[in-house]
Amino acid sequence: DVKVTQSSRYLVKRTGEKVFLECVQDMDHENMFWYRQDPGLGLRLIYFSYDVKMKEKGDIPEGYSVSREKKERFSLILESASTNQTSMYLCASSLGLYQPQHFGDGTRLSIL
Amino acid sequence: AQKITQTQPGMFVQEKEAVTLDCTYDTSDQSYGLFWYKQPSSGEMIFLIYQGSYDEQNATEGRYSLNFQKARKSANLVISASQLGDSAMYFCAMREGGNQGGKLIFGQGTELSVKP
């Protein structure tokens, strides 16, 4: 079975902090994705990566950056956390662009 | 314009009965994929079933089947013999062709409650 692991289920940070959300997959998948999920807005794509050191902006990249130094790991960075980034963050990976995406358990991030 | 529409914010079904969750989509691509995911209250997104636009037969996975009607642009999820553990949010999603990097577009979801 595909395993996508997110480093934290719950995280509380303060405004202005630099926040790192880590995601690791164990299936040698090429593609990795970061989404955020908000009530009434559904899931929205922040960034994705189709190869090591490659990244593409999704629909809402502002205020975020990503890093993919190794194939199995995709990090989401909040450069200077703000309260409007309080959300559920979901990482996903897929073998190919046309394969199903498999998700991690999510990180519920609160910015105070 | 919304690309994925799930018109049922919430639904109830009796245990052991079948239920259909509606999903319509909008795309001008010929090549696309349709997915259904389940999200229990614990938060994880669980992949259920996939239908490719060129697949001639409806996809099935155990108790899940996808009623794919291409001309109507609908991809309804059918859950047979509902179980209490099926209570969750269900999301329909679409991946368009082209160079979108496998990006998924999600609907707003349907909350399914299974009654004992």
Minimal CA separation from B48 to chain A, in Å: 9
For the stretch A1-37, pLDDT in tens is: 668 999 999 999 999 999 999 999 999 999 999 999 9
Can you give the pLDDT at residue B95? Answer: 87
- Here the tokens at position A54 are 């490659």
**B95 bridge partner residues:** B33, B104
Residue B2 pLDDT level (bands cut at 50, 70, 90): low
Cβ–Cβ under 8 Å, residues B34 and B94: yes
User: What are the beta bridge partners of residue B11?
Assistant: B112
How many CA atoms, within 13 angstroms, populate the side-chain half-sphere of residue B77?
30
pLDDT band of B98, cuts 50, 70, 90: low
Instruction: Nearest by CB to B35, from A45, A100, A104: name it.
Output: A100
pLDDT in tens, A43-53: 999 999 988 98
CB contact under 8 A, B43 and A45: no
Contact A88 B50 (CB under 8 A): no
Task: Write the pLDDT tens digit of every residue in A49-93.
Answer: 988 988 999 989 999 999 999 999 999 999 999 999 999 999 999
- Who among B47, B107, B108 is closest to A100 (CB)? B47
pLDDT in tens, B21-34: 999 999 988 888 99
Split at pLDDT 50, 70, 90, the class of B1 is low
At B33, is the secondary structure helix, strand, or coil? strand
Identify the residue with better confidence: B70 or A96.
B70
